[in-house]
Amino acid sequence: MVAQVIRNVFSAKLSTKYQGIVQNLTNKAPIPIRHFDFKFNPAELDQKFFLNKELATSYFHALSIFLTFGEDVVIETARHHREFINDPILKQRLTSLIGQEAIHSKIHNQFNDEVLKENGYPVELLRAIADKVFEYGIYKLPHSMQLSLMAGIEHYTAVLAEFMMQHEEYLLGSQDERQRAMWMWHMLEESEHKDIAYDVFLELSGDYWVRITGFLLASLTILGGVSLGGYLMPFIRKPSNLINPRYMKDIVESTALLFGSERGVFGSSFMHILEYLRPSFHPNDHDTTKYMEYYKERLLNPETGLLSPYFLKEFVPPVRAASA
């Protein structure tokens, strides 16, 4: 199956549908920057939040730590390239992306400091590792490659968001309401802005091989670095897990939930991930409109929304003239 996908990818003709041209932005709804206060309480942390599995939950806790660094890359890269965007609506959308990612980074840092660290997770150790990787690796890349990496990271978060919207029971099984609300909000906004980084890349570059190189770097970071942190963290917190038969069983079951071909977050999304290799790929090839409508009502309804207890305010950046 994989061989067939690769043959299809490289036999496909490069489409001009999206090449360097941002399509129909005037028809897109503006994206707001939303502010929340989740009032985290370390005593409420569910250490088996993800389907009652310790290791699978640990992966998402490692993701919460590492993604703040990835979001900072997105923010800095978007700010650097915003001045080169001529289309005022794309520039506005890029500003929304920056704003949403800045709030994501802020909230996850609060969760990491106020909840994970207080429950004995090695937050500072993983931060120190990530800091060196990004300082001496990612930030040394040329701006064109950072732009490609930004688009690649956003592809992975879009795939993850779509999977979670399709499998809401994966997040609803825990009584940890604040952690659940944080992840559902994050998934909603990742899907909401999933095409912006890619459109910016197409507008300013569009080079296929640069795009694929950025995708490979994003894959190494998310599937490699975050996974390594997630798998190591339970042993660092509780060395007794090394000889705990119950935890050994958890490893097998958690790995299936993350990378298994049937139920796995990434395993069952493998073909979706690989679609990025298709020359004519665009994030909007996957239509998540219905999911977005459902989750905006489910999460953001002022009276019944799951996020309403934590919502503070929102605003939409203005559209400025091209010379602004």
In a domain, 6, yes or no: no
The pLDDT confidence band at residue 156, using thresholds 50, 70 and 90, is very high
Query: What single letter denotes the amino acid at residue 73?
Result: V
DSSP 112-131: IIIIIGGGT--HHHHHHHHH
In a domain, 22, yes or no: no
pLDDT at position 20 is 41
- As a 3-state breakdown, the chain gives helix, strand, coil percent values, each rounded to 5, of 70, 5, 30
The CB density around residue 107, as the number of other CB atoms within 10 Å, is 21
The DSSP bridge partners found for residue 33 are 315
Give the pairing of strands 33-36 and 311-315.
Answer: antiparallel
Element (H, E) at 212: helix 208-219
For the purposes of burial, counting CB atoms within 10 Å of the CB of 118, is it exposed (0-12), middle (13-18) or buried (19 or more)?
middle
Query: How far from 157 is each of 47, 67, 183, 186, CA to CA, in Å?
Result: 23, 10, 12, 9
Does residue 309 sit in helix, strand or coil?
A: coil
Does residue 311 sit in helix, strand or coil?
A: strand
Is pLDDT at 1 greater than 60 in this prediction? Answer: no
Task: Provide the b/e sequence for 171-205 (b: ≥16 CB within 10 Å).
Answer: beebebebbbbbbbbbbbbbbbbbbbbbbbbbbeb
Per residue in 159-207, pLDDT (tens digit) is: 999 999 999 889 888 889 999 999 999 999 999 999 999 999 999 999 9
Is pLDDT at 322 greater than 90 in this prediction? Answer: no
Angle between helices 54-82 and 88-111 (to 10 degrees): 140
Is pLDDT at 272 greater than 90 in this prediction? Answer: yes
80 near 143, Cβ under 8 Å? Answer: yes
Number of domains in the chain: 1
Is pLDDT at 16 greater than 50 in this prediction? Answer: no
The pLDDT confidence band at residue 19, using thresholds 50, 70 and 90, is very low
Domain that holds residue 138: 52-311
Which is higher by pLDDT, 323 or 226? 226
In a domain, 303, yes or no: yes
Query: How far from 258 is each of 162, 220, 245, 250, CA to CA, in Å?
Result: 15, 16, 20, 12
In a domain, 11, yes or no: no
Give the helix ranges, DSSP H, for 83-176.
88-111, 123-136, 143-166, 169-172
163 near 264, Cβ under 8 Å? Answer: no
In a domain, 226, yes or no: yes
C-alpha 110/C-alpha 113 separation (Å) is 5
- Span 221-246, average pLDDT: 93
- Span 292-305, average pLDDT: 94
In a domain, 259, yes or no: yes
The pLDDT confidence band at residue 28, using thresholds 50, 70 and 90, is confident
Is pLDDT at 255 greater than 80 in this prediction? Answer: yes
pLDDT at position 76 is 95
In a domain, 168, yes or no: yes
Is pLDDT at 213 greater than 60 in this prediction? Answer: yes
Which is higher by pLDDT, 146 or 4? 146
- Report the alpha-carbon angle 282-100-198, nearest 5: 20
The pLDDT confidence band at residue 27, using thresholds 50, 70 and 90, is confident
pLDDT at position 173 is 84
Percentage with pLDDT > 70 across the chain: 91
Closest CA to 193 of 266, 104, 100: 100
In a domain, 225, yes or no: yes
Per residue in 66-77, pLDDT (tens digit) is: 999 999 999 999
Is pLDDT at 114 greater than 80 in this prediction? Answer: yes
Start-to-end C-alpha separation, the chain: 49
pLDDT at position 33 is 97
The pLDDT confidence band at residue 324, using thresholds 50, 70 and 90, is very low
Q: What tokens appear for 250 in the block?
A: 């958890």
pLDDT at position 3 is 44
Closest CA to 177 of 308, 298, 44: 44
pLDDT at position 48 is 95
